[in-house]
Amino acid sequence: MRVISAETGTVEKIIWSREGIQCLEVKIGDKKEKALNYPFLTGTALPGHCVLLNTTAVNLGLGSGGYHFVMANYALKELSLRPGGHIMKLRYTPLQCKVQVYEELLDSRGSALAWNSYEGLKGLPVVIGELHSMVAPFILAMKKLQPGVKIVYIMTDSAALPIYLSDIVFRLRRDSLLEGTVTCGHAFGGDLETVNVYTALMAAREELKADVVLLAPGPGVVGTSTRYGYSGIEQGEHIDRVRKMQGLPIVIPRISFGDLRTRHFGLSHHTITALSEITSQRACIPLPLLGRDKMLLLYRQFKSAGLLEKHRIIVIKKPKNVTFYNEVNYTFNTMGRGVKQDPVFFATVAAAACFTEKLLTWD
């Protein structure tokens, strides 16, 4: 029984392209549809090329934005390897690809970091987000508060694997707001590649000289409406990893009063599960100061889950949040809701930035 639907199409035109990704108009039979192509994997597509398309997500009506994905380009008979590296990502799939990982660089340099026990992150703030929609608001708020801060984004492999898919990361890099990016596990396309999260944290501090690390997935997380069946559960695992590496874990909790689903209203059950059941370590959890009724609900949710005793909760009285977000040339949304529809979600991200900036100032 096949788990992929595939069709052949012809490239009609290039709608747009940027580093690592092309958006194509393709003709499938009598229909014109959109497809994404990663030249890193399948070569550069041109008008007239015949391509094999993965049409699964569109056929299922899933949230891929209505795009097919190029699996092969029949016009390109051969693709040659670029030099350097021999670690495979997307291993044992038809699209397994070779990258040069940070760990290989350490070994080739004869670095002590390659074999010696790592001395640790030495208190480096590592901000842990569940959703990709937290990335830009956090980075922009941090840069507003401390323009010279060096922020490194580590993209995990729990959602989209190619960092090229993220329009927001492309824009942040273009606007010189990111010091660098690291893609770990099977995620790929960052300034540095690593085998796992631990070495990604090392790379962010030692190679990219981060003042602050943002650890979060790419676009397209998975949820199943069950207690443990969601990709963001890694947030709890990351707290333990950061503590193990002697960093300071700062969690951006998922808080919303615009999401009317009971399990996500106020403090999301995703955050509750990750912080109460998955992590065994203590984290800092900044919150924005809200109105009485909202704060009372959050207090009850934190208390009933045992989070008040387990973690350090910090209330930020005046986070630089919604008004600032309305001034920047970026459009934010989370689950289809913007700043006006879900201000508390973005205020919570801003609170994490305010707390992190204070830590840097105190140091």
User: Percent of the chain at pLDDT above 90?
Assistant: 78
91: tokens are 């291993």
Burial class (CB in 10 A: 0-12, 13-18, 19+), 355: buried
In the chain the domains, ranked by start, together with CATH numbers, are 6-73 (2.40.50.220), 112-362 (3.40.50)
Query: In angstroms, how far is CA 119 from the centroid of its own chain?
Result: 26
Backbone phi and psi for residue 215, each to the nearest 5 degrees, phi listed first: -110, 110
3-class DSSP state of 81: coil
pLDDT band at 262 (very low <50, low <70, confident <90, very high): low
**Cα 287 from Cα 290, distance rounded (Å):** 9
What 3-state class would DSSP assign to 98? strand
Kindly report which listed range (21-30, 40-49, 218-227, 303-312) carries the lowest average pLDDT score. 218-227
- Average pLDDT value for residue range 129-149: 96
Tens of pLDDT, residue by residue over 210-252, are: 999 999 999 999 989 899 999 999 999 999 999 999 999 999 9
pLDDT value at position 319?
61
pLDDT band, very low/low/confident/very high, at 342 (cuts 50, 70, 90)? confident
First to last CA, the chain: 58
3-state secondary structure (DSSP) of residue 211: coil
Return the higher-pLDDT residue of 320 and 61.
Answer: 61
Over range 269-292, report the average pLDDT. Answer: 96
- DSSP-based helix, strand, coil % in the chain, nearest 5: 35, 25, 40
Rounded to 10 deg, the angle between the 135-145 and 343-362 helix axes is 40
pLDDT range class, residue 322, cuts 50, 70, 90: low
pLDDT value of residue 280:
97
d(CA 175, CA 172) in angstroms, rounded, equals 5
Q: Six-digit token pair at 160?
A: 């989209």
Q: Which residue has the higher pLDDT, 140 or 262?
A: 140
Lookup: tokens for 167: 């329009």
Give me the pLDDT at residue 264, please: 63
Strands (E), the chain: 6-18, 21-28, 31-37, 50-54, 67-73, 87-89, 97-99, 125-128, 151-155, 180-184, 192-194, 212-216, 248-251, 255-256, 266-267, 284-288, 312-316
What are 11-31's pLDDT values in tens digits? Answer: 999 999 999 999 999 999 999
**Mapping DSSP to helix (H, G, I), strand (E, B) and coil, where does residue 301 land?**
helix
Check residues 84 and 200 and name the one with the higher pLDDT.
Answer: 200
Q: What's the confidence (pLDDT) of residue 136?
A: 96
Position 191 scores a pLDDT of 98
> What is the distance between the alpha carbons of residues 53 and 35, in angstroms, rounded to a whole number?
8
Tokens of 180: 């660098």
pLDDT for the residue numbered 261: 77
Quote the pLDDT of residue 146.
95
* Burial of 267 per CB tally in 10 Å (0-12, 13-18, 19+): buried
